[in-house]
Amino acid sequence: QVQLVQSGAEVKKPGASVKVSCKASGYTFTGYYIHWVRQAPGQGLEWMGWINPNSGDTKYAQKFQGRVTMTRDTSISTVYMELSRLRSDDTAVYYCARVDYDSSGYYMGFGYWGQGTLVTVSS
């Protein structure tokens, strides 16, 4: 079965960086884009960007341009999201999510999600 397993909770100081991993299993890793979505405490869902695990191509939300880097390691079916120059308002649960496609290649939404990784930014 498809699984996305994320790394554990992190506590960081302002100005530091954090790198969250998302290990995929149960499907062909290079066949599906992975997106990252975050959720601040008590708030809604905020899209951060995607990575194509096959090519390594990425697309980031304008808000995070210059601070976020998404990478992948195909040898271990894992994608990473690194966020730098952390601020207190980056405190959130970070999710990876896999898209689903129909037989013609059209998106069907985010069918699978990781369990989430809480990143706390505090001095």
Partner 1 sequence: DIVMTQSPDSLAVSLGERATINCKSSQSVLSSSNNKNFLAWYQQKPGQPPKLLIYWASTRESGVPDRFSGSGSGTDFTLTISSLQAEDVAVYYCQHYYSTPVAFGQGTKVAIK
The residues binding partner 1 (CB under 8 A) are 35, 37, 44-47, 50, 59, 61-62, 95, 97, 99-100, 104, 106-111, 113-116
CB of 13 to partner 1, least distance (A): 26
Using the Cα atoms of residue 41, residue 23, residue 17 and residue 36 in order, give the sign of their dihedral: negative
Q: How far is the CB of 7 from partner 1 (least distance, A)?
A: 15
CA–CA separation, 24 and 74 (whole Å): 10
Q: State the Cα–Cα distance between residues 82 and 58, nearest whole angstrom.
A: 13
Q: Which is nearer to partner 1, 53 or 114 (CB)?
A: 114
Q: How far is the CB of 75 from partner 1 (least distance, A)?
A: 26
Contact 13, 123 (CB under 8 A): yes
